[in-house]
Amino acid sequence: MPIARSKSPYQEVIVVGAYLVALVMDVERFPGRGETLTADNFRQTFGGKGSNMAVQLARLSKPVHFAGCVGQDSYGDQFARMANQEGVNLALLRRDNELPTGAGFIVACRDGHNFITIDIGVNKRFGRVEIDTISHQFSPATIVITQHEILTDTALYAARRAHQQGAFVICNPAPAEDLTDQDLSCIDVLTPNETEARVCLGLLPDDPTDDAEIARRLLSLGVKTVLMTVGERGCILADAGGTEQLPGLNINQVVDTTGAGDAFNAALAAALLDGHALREAAMYANVVAGLSTTRANTIPSYHTHQEVARFLEQVPNSTLTVY
């Protein structure tokens, strides 16, 4: 039987974040320090955690605004056309004449893993003033997702403003930095992966502390709930009631993990819009994120509402339902 859901108080999602054009090439293995490798399949794709989340939400048939900044250049024009075609509302988008649209460089390994460097470009100009300009849109009927490809100060300021106006706030602290000097009580759900979670606590990325303990420690920063993604193992939910491991999808052959975390955050918000409790929303997010790893690149990997629904119908004894 499907898990019961309640009427959701939320009507739309506002993603406060970055767009970056993605420049991608494939390698058989990652280079060592000082080593040059021959790559292939160079391509330009749409990237940026904020725009990824917005597009995944739109593909899940949810009303979504993208609040961010792009340049007055060809990359910015291409993004605007793509977002409009996907159904993302761009009323909160800002265009800038002075700095270029942000860019990311992705080296994708054949085993499905990758490393990424970014120059956030015009996203540096998206600050507190711009958040104040759009804050009229924050309300108890909105879910606001922030992430850290924009300036951390901007992301946390947006979270505080959204919280003050009654919105439900999800923060994806990626790229990660030490947040131990920050009051994160304005955040309802913090969604790092296992590496980012350690960095947020001021630890080394490979600190050997148990993942569940890391998730519990993050609660001390003031967040109400931590959903720490742990790759194919799913995610760890930590709150005042304890910790729980929620399983991920068993993917036989991972094609590309790029953007899976963004799919997770978008799907989490989508399920909350549908009226699901946070635990069930996280289980749904695990499914959507897992499905995204079965296709290459970011936005091309994102599944639609109909595709996810068909997949869940084929899962024996699944209690997850999308609406």
- What is the residue extent of each domain of the chain? 12-313
Question: Is residue 213 pLDDT above 90, yes or no?
Answer: yes
Beta bridge partners of 27: 109
**Largest distance between two CA atoms of the chain:** 56
* pLDDT for the residue numbered 306: 95
**Interatomic CA distance for residues 174 and 149, integer angstroms:** 7
The model's pTM: 0.90
pLDDT of residue 1: 35
Report the pLDDT value the prediction gives residue 322, as an integer from 0 to 100. 53
Checking if the pLDDT of 247 tops 50, the result is: yes
pLDDT 10s digits, 180-212? 999 999 999 999 999 999 999 999 999 999 999
pLDDT, tens digit, 9 for 90 and up, residues 291-319 = 999 998 889 999 999 999 999 988 765 55
Q: Which of 64-78, 123-137, 301-315 has the lowest mean pLDDT?
A: 301-315
Q: Answer for the pair 60, 185: CB distance below 8 angstroms, yes or no.
A: no
How crowded is residue 207: how many other Cβ atoms within 10 Å of its Cβ? 14
225 pLDDT higher than 50: yes
Q: What is the DSSP string of 122-165?
A: GGGG--HHHHHHHGGG--TTEEEEEETTS-HHHHHHHHHHHHHT
Which of 18-32, 198-212, 261-275 bottoms out in mean pLDDT, i.e. has the lowest?
18-32
**261 Cβ neighbours under 8 A, 6+ residues apart:** 49, 172, 174, 191, 193, 229, 289
C-alpha count within 13 angstroms, C-beta hemisphere, residue 286:
25
Q: What is the mean pLDDT of residues 95-103?
A: 94
CATH class of 12-313: alpha beta
Average pLDDT, the chain: 92
